[in-house]
């Protein structure tokens, strides 16, 4: 028995509503995914900046140590006849 226009319209509206809910859920999950990704990127950036700062500090320390050693050797060589 053929369906009436009203029945078809009701089915289409039901499907449209279901699709709308699915799209909303998908949009919500995508937004959550982007938020989590942005948080991870921010955390990685902070971690990388800390490592770079630590590396700079270590390079400065070694520069000072080597400079002191060279200065001491130079001084000792001048003192030795």
Q: What is the pLDDT of residues 10-40, one digit of tens each?
A: 999 999 999 999 999 999 999 999 999 999 9
Specify the pLDDT at position 1: 60
| Structure confidence at residue 81 as a pLDDT band (50, 70, 90) | confident
The DSSP symbol for 81 reads -
CA distance 59 to 46: 20
For the record, the structure tokens of 54 come out as: 């630590």
Specify the pLDDT at position 23: 98
Checking if the pLDDT of 71 tops 80, the result is yes
For the record, the structure tokens of 71 come out as: 């200065």
Specify the pLDDT at position 45: 97
């Amino acid at each position: 028995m053929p369906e009436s226009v009203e029945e078809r319209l009701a089915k289409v509206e039901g499907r449209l509503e279901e699709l709308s809910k699915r799209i909303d859920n998908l949009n919500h999950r995508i937004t959550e995914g982007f938020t989590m990704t942005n948080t991870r990127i921010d955390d990685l950036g902070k971690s990388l900046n800390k490592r770079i700062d630590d590396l700079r500090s270590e390079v400065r320390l070694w520069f000072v140590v080597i400079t002191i050693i060279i200065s001491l050797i130079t001084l000792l060589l001048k003192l030795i006849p």
